[in-house]
Every structure is written in structure tokens, then in C-alpha cells.
Chains A and B, each alone.
Chain A
Amino acid sequence: MDAISPYDLRPWVGQYGSHIKAELTPPAAASLPAMAQAAAARFARQTAFTTVMPNGMYGSLSYQQVDEKSDHFARYLRQVLKLDAGDRVAIQMPNSLAYPVVLLGVLKAGCVAVNTNPLYTAAEMAHQFKDSGAKAVVVVDLFADKLEQALPQTDVKHVVITRVPEFFPPVVGGIVHAVMKYWNRQVPAHRVPFTALPAALAQGAAAGGDVKAWWGGLTHDSLALLQYTGGTTGVAKGAMLTHGNLLWNVAQMRAMCGSHIDEGKEVVLTALPLYHIFAFTVNFLSMFEAGARNILVPSPRPVQNLQRAIENYKITWLTGVNTLYNALLGEEWFTAFPPRHIKAAGGGGAAMHHAVVERFEQVTGAPLVEGYGLTESSPVVCFQPLNGKRHRDTIGVPAPMTDVRLVDDTGEPVPLGQPGELVVRGPQVMQGYWQRPEATAEVIKDGWLHTGDVAVMDAEGTFKIVDRKKDMILVSGFNVYPNEIEDALTRHDGVLEAAVIGVPDPKTGEAVRAYVVKRDEALTAEALMAHCRTLLTGYKMPVRIEFRDELPKTPVGKILRRDLRAEVLGANKNKT
């Protein structure tokens, strides 16, 4: 067991070159509020956040305004609502100016933030609020009706309601709100007793109080965030991320990007939701620390919603998932006039497809680097280095101060080049799941976080994800990884996106089935099969290709293979 495995020597450090430091000193800030305050002092007058609506209407907050308003929100929580240190506050809203104010306010109050997906059903909301024991919820008005149904089952005592155009200039904000309410009828009626966010801030300001006294004692070990995950496998569990986890991951991100992030000068497009860990750490925390201007888009669907944001601002960084990039590349306004100031784009969340990366780089001339991470690791584990040799179709190398191993089912490291489950150890790995020691013990063993992803490593220490352990398809005893088949399918020009699952088959055990969304209406299953035959051996070939208008996806755009499997299994049940 203790023989030196190929992973223990961190072969990937050779790829860091002179651009990435292999050894990092612990983050100077003791907590996220300390980091935020330092950034606010340094970049005070610069714009921190701009929210852009689909028609181009916008509102902005400077670093100083975010700092002041979040102080007021902390005062509101501690002085008006009388919350204690460590109390959980749920935050449930799409990207908007209210998000950073509320999030930082919660942390400054010494409380713990519970990021909550606003698209949750009432039942899912109730579970998350109950499980986390949230005492207060800050929710966007669009979903207050669902909150009304969920509330009676929870311990939530206080509700603060915000609006998408919060902190916009009054006339513009009024129009955006009126259009949402009366034209699109998106703002439902509800009977939840609540305080509006601006009123809460006013009450906090009036109450006063030394905010620093509440966060001054926080350390790297203090809990900052309950980030719920695993909704795709069953009951959602809250990953406990500390101030240290998140600050470390910010430091690791910054080290990986090095001189590609010019402090105080970057403009980052945030189309992914901030309640998701990817945008939370990469776009919000890392870029706030770097003094960047964050362009927040409340909803990237339909993708035309990004047009004015991309046209009106000189975007230098952008993050997304495969489906978002794929959608952008399908838009003429994007391909005809690609943003000219982009330095780099980051992709993650799910495997990036070769064809998408290639086309994006061709269109924008900027590298689209793929990373890998998970909620339990704050999230970044691996990233393709921006300097040096590019290894496309990989997840790059582990971040500094991170150990990664590939192990077999007994936990032993597999030999170089062999597929094994990716396990991680590093300062960004969570403390565990909130009040679920058994679930924690299942994923964190001897300090290693087990990811459930199967990967291979080459001699230089570059990792490549093969697939999810549980998505693997077993065809006549051969392992088939859906990612590989999807990649083959999307290399056909007529394919917009594809999902591959295994379905029960009497002869082969499981059979490969593909779901495809066409880019070109004329595409036929026969033509696509012929294309696949040039790329895939027999047992990997889809037995059936089904065309769809769309594929089921998570809010960040990950394709939900599990929903497709459920459809098939459900249909089989009906038949018998």
C-alpha cells in the first residue's frame, strides 16, 4: 500500500513551468469577509458588478457599494433579526446585484450561507431548508409562491425578498420590474410575510453595529457555506465548505491563471448561476479578489440573453459549460462578431466536447481551457495550464498543493495509464456533509475525497476523465464510456448535441443508445451511423439513435443522462 505510486511524485508539477507556483503560502486573509474588505479597500471606486438584462438595461455596484450594503445586511441579520454566529441563511436567487451583497452580508454576520437553486420545487426547497436548519431565507420575488408552500415544513422565521433589477437606477429598475410583473407575468402573488431587501438594508443601517466584531474571529476552519449537491443521485446533501476551503481554492485558481489575470482590469462574463459552486468560486470570489468587473446575466437561456452583455462590455474572461459554449457557437451574432478582448475562457461542469473547444478557439482566437472539479472540493481540482503545451480533451493538471490519485475498487493506486477512480486530497476539500457522517465516510476515506469519476493519467501528469463510474455502459463485458460516444456524435457537423446512455438489452446485457439534437434538419440516423462507424469499433456503436428537439439538462446546462435512463426504464415498465 505504501509503495510509491506514480501519483505521489506529482509528475504534473513539471508542466507548471515558471508560470505556476508549485508551493503556495496559505491565503493571507483569515476569512472571506477579510478578503472582500481588502478588495473593497483596494478597488473602492471601480465597478464590481453589473447586471445586464436581455434588452441591454443594466445596473451596477462599485466595490465600495458592495462593501457598505453587505455591512448593512450583516447588521440587519444580527441586530434586527437577532441571528447568532453560525446560523444558516438560505440564498435563493438568479444572478443579480443582490447576490454579492447578501452573500457577503451573511458571511460578515458570522453566519453560514446556504446556496439554493431558485428553480427548485417546493418539496426540494423544504428539504434543503429543513436539512440545513436555515432560520432566514433571501429569495427572489419570482419564486416566492413556491416558498409559501415550502415554509410551513421548515424552521425559517424570516423572509427577505429581492427583485431581479435590485439596485438598478430607479426608472430602469421600475421598468424592468413592471415588464416582468405585468407583461411576462413572472412575478407570482404570494402571502409570505416578508421584508424587502432595500428595507432590510435601511433597518440594518439604522440599527448600526460593529460588523468587524462579527467576522473578525472567523478562521480558515470556520464554516462558510453549505453547498447542496447530489440532487442527481437522490437526497441532496450539504457539502460543508469552510472559509479556508474557498480561500485556498481562490489562491489555487489565481496561481493557475497567473499573469493572465490583470488585477483591477478584467471584465468577466458570468452567465452561469452564482448559486452553483463553479461560478461562485471562479467568477465571484476569485474575480472579486482580483478587482475584476463581473457582468452578471440573470438567465443565459435562451442564449440570446447574452447578446447585449457581450456587445456592450469588453469581456476579457468568460466561463461556461459545454452546452453554453455550444449554444453561443450556434448564434450568428457571436460567430460573426466574436468578442475581441477575450483572453481566455474556462469550461467545466461536464466534459467539454472536442468540436466545441476547437470551434470556440477558432472563432474567438482565445484558449478555452477545461477544468475539473466538484462541489465537495470548492470546486477546482484540475485545470489545463494557460501556458506551455495544451493538452486538449483532458482536464489538465491538478492545481498547486493538490494531490490526485487514481485508484481501483480496493483503494489501491492503479498503474500509470490505467483507468481508475479519481481521488483528491488538498486544502480545498470539504469538511464533510452537513450532519451526515455516514455519507461523509463513504466519500472521504483516509483524507482522500472519492469523486466517482474514472480517469487516466499520462506520464507528464495530465489527467483525462473517462467517465462517471455509474454512467459506464457494459456491452457484452466491454466497458463503454458515454463521453467517448457523445464526442464521436458531436464531431458530425449536423449534430448540435448528443447524450448517450446504456439500456438493458437481452443479448448484450446493455446496449448503447444515443439521443441527438440536430443542427442540420436533413441529418438522418443512417448518415450519423455511417459517421460513427469511422470513429468507433463495433461494440461501442449506438444500437439506436433517437432525434430530439432538446435534451434534459440541469440549470447549469449539464445534460441529465439519468433522466433519459428513467424515461427508458419507465417506458419499459409500462410495456410489461
Chain B
Amino acid sequence: MLSETETRLLGVMMMVIMLGMGASLTFKDFAIALRKPVGVVVGLLCQYGVMPLLAYVLSLVLALPPAYAVGLILMGCMPGGTTSNIFAYFSKGTLSLSILMTMSSTLVAIVMVPLTLAFYSQGIEGNWQIPRENVIQVLFVLLVPTVIGIALRKWNANVGALIEMIGGLLGVLVILFLVVSWVPRNGALLMQTGFPVYAASIGLGLAGFALGYLISRGLKQDPRRSRTIALETGIQNGPLAVLIVLLSFTGTQQQEVLLIPVLYSLFIVLTSTAVTIWFRRITTREELARDAAKIGALAKA
């Protein structure tokens, strides 16, 4: 479990991250996104259709106890993580699409997260339920820095771009912070934790990648966009889930519910890195093949 100070620190960091995300946007970006809604629709479908369902199914298949199940379902209901944009960049994906998806899923989070969370956690005992007010409150509080970020960008482009960068870096730092502050104190717990919990924590991300890719291919997106959507789907906003758990539970209860969100956050960095390297290779190979085709056309001429 995290101390009061650490919880507050995490809250502040989340605010800065959201400030950064706001600063990466302009109102025109929204308007443009809404003009061509395919990316947004696919993103929302993956984020709030596929992921919560996937988490729910995983919790049933692995027969997780309520404490872990609620953590997993919460994780599945989260909007896209801001770190996905960094991975999209490194994997030579479509960066604008990644940003657009993160942004749209975050903005509708205040409605969609409480809805999906309530729906999929119906069968969970009352004292393990996450109060809807907490979720709404956290999301609402995070909307404020987002709006401030947008305003700052409009006010001064230098300040906006600076905050955007800091926010992006903090996204990675927060996960490091969780590793450093949480893992050493919970070594024993990690040792005792059985296969199902690890399978759920790792599987949620991996299955998210796979389903995101298949669905977007099914919706006729090209392979490169589909790889971007795959990363975006699998990468959830882990720190946000951690924050909600911290505000909703205390003591050992908190520690138990926190397990899957924290494990997910740790493993998603590793799996995303592996997937990013793989995707990058595919994209590079495709680029080379295109060049070779050009040379072939030349030789024929």
C-alpha cells in the first residue's frame, strides 16, 4: 500500500500528465477528428467495447477472487494511456491517430468508465465495488488540468509545447515511481501471487494488442494504422486506475485490489517495448519492399 504522501504525489503527477495532454491539443484537432470519425469510432469501440469485455472474460476464465477481478475489470475500463503515443512514435506507427485515440477515449471517460465499470462489476460483492462517485470525481478533477493545458497552449505555444513534453515524460516516470515505491515493499506478495493473476495482468495487454489489430483489419484499416490501433488498444491508462483504487480502498483491501493495476502497468511497459520493436521491423521491411518495387519498376523501364 502507498503512503498518503505517495498517493498525493501520484495525484499531482496525473494532473501534470493531463495538463500535458491538454497542451498537445487544439480545438481544431477535435473538430478535424470529428469530421473523419472512423479513427475515433474504432478507437472507442476497442477501448470501451473490447477491453472491458476482455477483462471481464479473463476474470471469469481465470476464476479470479473479487479483489483481483475488480482490479482487472477497472483496468479494462480505463481510457487509453498517454504512453501509447511514445510507443506509436517508436514503432513508426501513425502518431496522429494514436494521439487522437488517446484523446477521444479520455474525453468520454467521464461517461464511459462509470458505465462500463458498473456493468461488468455487477456480479462482484458490494464491499469490493468501486463507488461510482469516486470514479467520476477523479475523472472530473483530471478534466480541469486538461482544459487548462488546452488554454495554455493557446496562450503561448512555447509554454504549451514544454508542458506537453513534460507530461509525456512523466507518463513514463510515474510507472517507474510505482515500480520503485511499490514493488520492494510487496516482494512477498509478488512471490505468493499465483499464475492466474500474472496471466491476467500480462494477458490483458497482449490480448488487447491482438484484438485491436484484428478488429481494425476487419474494419479495413491498412496494416500500419492497424498496428497503431493495436498498441493503442492494449495500452491502458494504468496510473489512473491506481489512483482510483487508492481513493476507493484502504488498508489490505487497497493492497489487494491494487495488485493487478500495478502489475499490468509494469508488464505493459515490457510487452509494449517488445511489440514496438517487432512492429518497427515490419514497418521498416515494408518500406524497403516499397523501395525495391520502385527499383524493379525502373529496371523494367
Contacts and interface: CB of A to CB of B under 8 A. Distances in A.
Interface string B163-176: 01100000000000
Central interface residue in A57, A58, A568, by most chain B CB within 10 Å? A57
A568 B26 CA distance: 47
Contacts of A52: 157
Contacts of A55: 161, 164
Interface in A42-69: 52-53, 55-58
Given A311-B26, A333-B28, A549-B294, A568 B162 contact: no
Central interface residue in A56, A57, A333, A337, by most chain B CB within 10 Å? A56
Given A169-B158, A172-B162, A549 B290 contact: yes
B26 A175 contact: no
A335 to B, nearest CB: 10
Nearest to A571: B301
Interface in A144-191: 169, 171-172, 175
A58 B157 contact: yes
Q: Describe B's contact surface by its main secondary structure.
A: helix
The 6 closest A-B pairs by CB, nearest first: A56-B157, A57-B161, A55-B161, A571-B301, A172-B158, A56-B161
14 contacts: A55-B164, A56-B153, A56-B158, A57-B161, A311-B28, A332-B32, A333-B28, A336-B28, A546-B301, A549-B290, A549-B294, A567-B298, A568-B301, A571-B299
Contacts of A341: none
Contacts of B160: 56
B27 to A, nearest CB: 10
A447 to B, nearest CB: 44
Interface string B258-301: 00000000000000000000000000000000100010011101
A417 B28 CA distance: 49
Contact of B35 (A57, A308, A332): A332
Central interface residue in B32, B164, B290, by most chain A CB within 10 Å? B32
A576 interface: no
Interface string B44-63: 00000000000000000000
Contacts of A311: 26, 28
A40 to B, nearest CB: 25
Interface of B: 26, 28-29, 31-32, 35-36, 153, 157-158, 160-162, 164-165, 290, 294, 297-299, 301
Contacts of A53: 161
A171 B35 contact: no
Contact of B298 (A58, A308, A571): A571
Given A337-B28, A337-B31, A57 B158 contact: yes
Given A172-B158, A333-B28, A568-B301, 15 more contacts: A53-B161, A56-B161, A57-B157, A58-B158, A175-B165, A311-B26, A332-B35, A332-B36, A333-B29, A337-B31, A546-B297, A546-B301, A548-B297, A549-B294, A574-B299
A410 interface: no
A312 interface: yes
Interface of A: 52-53, 55-58, 169, 171-172, 175, 308, 311-312, 332-333, 336-337, 546, 548-549, 567-568, 571, 574
A333 B25 CA distance: 13
Nearest to B23: A56
Contacts of B28: 311, 333, 336-337
Given A56-B157, A57-B158, A336 B164 contact: no
Contact of B31 (A308, A336, A568): A336
Contacts of B164: 55
Nearest to A308: B157
A571 B295 CA distance: 10
A55 B297 CA distance: 37
Contacts of A337: 28, 31-32
A60 to B, nearest CB: 10
Contacts of A549: 290, 294
A33 B156 CA distance: 33
Contacts of A172: 158, 161-162
A87 B96 CA distance: 48
A52 B161 CA distance: 12
